[in-house]
Amino acid sequence: MIGSPVIKRILLINPPYPFEEHPSPPFGLMSLAAFLVEKGYEVRIEDYIIEQCSIERYKFIINEFKPDVIGATAVSMTVKKSLSIIKEYKMIAPGIMTVMGGAHVTFDASSILNSGGVDFIVRGEGEITFTELLKTISEGKSIADVNGISYIDRGIVHHTQDRELIEDINILPYPAGNLVALSKYKAMDLPINMITSRGCPHSCIFCLGRKMVGKRLRYYDTKRVVDEFETLSRLGFSQINISDDLFTSNKKRCIAICDGIISRGINQAWSAFARVDTISQDLLSKLKEAGCVTLCFGIESGNQEILNMVKKKTTLEKCRTAADLCTKAGITPLASYILGLPGETEETVMNTLRFARDINMEFGMHILAPFPGTEVREKSEEYGINILTDDWDLYDANRSVCSTNGISPDRIDRIVNGFYESLENYMDEIVLKKNRGKPISEKDESMLKKLELYKFNMELIENKIIENFPVAGCTNHEDLIKSFSSYLQRKTGRDSGFITKEISRLMEKGCLKIIQKNSSPAIGWV
């Protein structure tokens, strides 16, 4: 239709997120991108976790890729940054259409739109809604008929009807891993994620899982899951993270997936999210046989009344049993706790700390962040929760943004900070021990090695050290590696032994390769 923009190129943006939080590739954007590519769009993902964001970079992308639409994702803690990136892009290319999606904006659409810079919000699952929106705009049809979007028209925010969840998720292609520099995540020894289902039947009051993906589980076919697992296993990541909200929801299916992995002889370590009431000895044995090394459990609290209040529908007894069953099966159970839940008092916090130390699970601690859309936020008064701020930058679940009547937010912060300080002190102690030539356990040794490798590669990525390796003019492979090694030693201050090992590891893992730069051999990320 005359006058309607022709939309061909879509730029998708993943905002920065601290390396300390151990990020993983932007799975939601990769899923979206694959679907858009299948529908004939040209798509690029700018992943600002591993790419530096700067005005120069934005200008370069606008000139080089010439996107017609920019779409950005966000969770609460990244939404302000995501918005500011969108606005900066829009300043460079004022006519460009901008869209946001993801867990935060789905439940905060009005205020995001009112803050300016964003033309459309895609709420919930993005694949069908986004492509329909693009098609509708290209065809000059009425956007009011596109379900699942929000936009401003003549100063008024409009929310179209919610979109139905995608009935058969098997229509979705595999996530577009080729559009992200996976080699950088692999270099840092971070896991790659995949999902085998969408949906969670539970309704924990602090979680958006069910609200984003529905209470009815929708499964990918078992064969497809095993095919994807096999493909990912060939990429050389040390771990695959099956990041379904609840992988172990259906025992029969879990066993079928494991059988598929086992029968194909795939040798790959993996982890998944589980609930303590969905595991049993026989299931765990099967998971172990298929390569599962870690199961993550949201234990949340060591106080039964709090578990009941937050609708976790588990018991402390089941948590204990789960810990023992996992340990017996040779799978590491990881527990996650949330302090500051409704009903929290000094005493319940102590219950949790004691419980966490007592049961046989390694654990991490977070603080309640009442995200938009969660029941705990929507009914905060009923739950006795006082929300202290809407500064989304602070919603990283590492500090108090709300309080309960029973305990002050400062006290909660001090407890959680104390927990992380004790972990840091423990690490400092083992480093000291090692430096003094004292023996340390195999587990601590491997933890130190992992940390060192993570920090080194994070430094390479953050400072673009590999990209800035000057062309050395070397004609043979050996000289090139020598020159690369001295360059890395100079830039990072690491000794030659460490650098030599890391170069071989990164080459063998397919993270680095020899490239041609200005017609000379150099080294670059794969």
Q: By CB under 6 A, name the binding residues for ligand SF4.
A: 200, 202-204, 207, 209-210, 245-246, 275, 298
Minimum CB–partner distance for residue 173 and ligand B12 (Å): 12
**What phi, psi does 53 have (nearest 5°)?**
-95, 130
Residues 504 and 361: their CA atoms lie apart, in Å, by 35
Q: Which is nearer to ligand B12, 62 or 503 (CB)?
A: 62
Nearest by Cα to 13 from 65, 79, 72, 88: 72
Q: Which is nearer to ligand SF4, 198 or 210 (CB)?
A: 210
Q: Are strands 42-47 and 9-14 parallel, antiparallel or unpaired?
A: parallel
Residues 218 and 438: their CA atoms lie apart, in Å, by 52
Name the E strands within 135-176. 149-153, 156-159
Minimum CB–partner distance for residue 100 and ligand B12 (Å): 6
Candidate ranges 66-74, 215-223, 257-265, 465-473; the one touching ligand B12 (CB under 6 A): 66-74
Minimum CB–partner distance for residue 314 and ligand SF4 (Å): 9
Minimum CB–partner distance for residue 208 and ligand SF4 (Å): 8
Strand, helix or coil for residue 217 = coil
Nearest by Cα to 80 from 23, 16, 24, 27: 16
Side chain identity, residue 436: R
Residue 202 binding result from ligand B12, ligand SF4, none, given CB thresholds of 5 to 8 Å by partner type: ligand SF4
Yes or no: say if 238 and 189 are a contact pair by the CB < 8 Å rule: yes
Residue 237 binding result from ligand SF4, ligand B12, none, given CB thresholds of 5 to 8 Å by partner type: none
b or e along 374-386 (b: 16 or more beta carbons within 10 Å of the residue's beta carbon)? bbbbeebeebebe
> What Cα–Cα distance (Å) separates residue 212 from each residue in 40, 76, 97, 377?
26, 14, 24, 16
Q: Is 445 in the site for ligand B12 (CB under 6 A)?
A: no
Considering CB under 6 A, how many residues would be counted as binding ligand B12? 40
Q: Which is nearer to ligand SF4, 298 or 409 (CB)?
A: 298
For residue 282, the tally of other CB atoms under 10 A from its CB is 11
Candidates 45, 47, 58, 71: give the one binding ligand B12 (CB under 6 A). 71
Candidate ranges 58-66, 70-78, 155-163, 433-441; the one touching ligand B12 (CB under 6 A): 70-78
Residue 71 binding result from ligand B12, ligand SF4, none, given CB thresholds of 5 to 8 Å by partner type: ligand B12
For residue 79, the tally of other CB atoms under 10 A from its CB is 26
Minimum CB–partner distance for residue 443 and ligand B12 (Å): 22
Q: Which is nearer to ligand SF4, 29 or 307 (CB)?
A: 307
Candidate ranges 101-109, 278-286, 446-454, 472-480; the one touching ligand B12 (CB under 6 A): 101-109
Residue 204 binding result from ligand SF4, ligand B12, none, given CB thresholds of 5 to 8 Å by partner type: ligand SF4
Residue 122 binding result from ligand B12, ligand SF4, none, given CB thresholds of 5 to 8 Å by partner type: ligand B12
Q: Is 17 in the site for ligand B12 (CB under 6 A)?
A: yes
Residues 180 and 463: their CA atoms lie apart, in Å, by 18
Q: Is 147 in the site for ligand B12 (CB under 6 A)?
A: no
404 beta partners: 385, 407
Indicate the burial class of 354 (C-beta count within 10 angstroms; 0-12, 13-18, 19 or more): exposed
DSSP secondary structure letter of residue 231? H
> Contacts with ligand B12 in 320-379 (CB under 6 A)?
371
Tokens coding 58:
């934005």
> What Cα–Cα distance (Å) separates residue 86 from each residue in 16, 58, 98, 151?
13, 10, 7, 16
Candidates 125, 132, 375, 502: give the one binding ligand B12 (CB under 6 A). 125
Minimum CB–partner distance for residue 147 and ligand SF4 (Å): 24
Q: Is 213 in the site for ligand B12 (CB under 6 A)?
A: yes
State the residues that interact with ligand B12 by CB under 6 A: 17, 21, 23-24, 26-29, 31-32, 71-73, 75-78, 99-104, 122, 125-127, 130, 193, 195, 207-209, 212-213, 243, 245, 371, 396-397
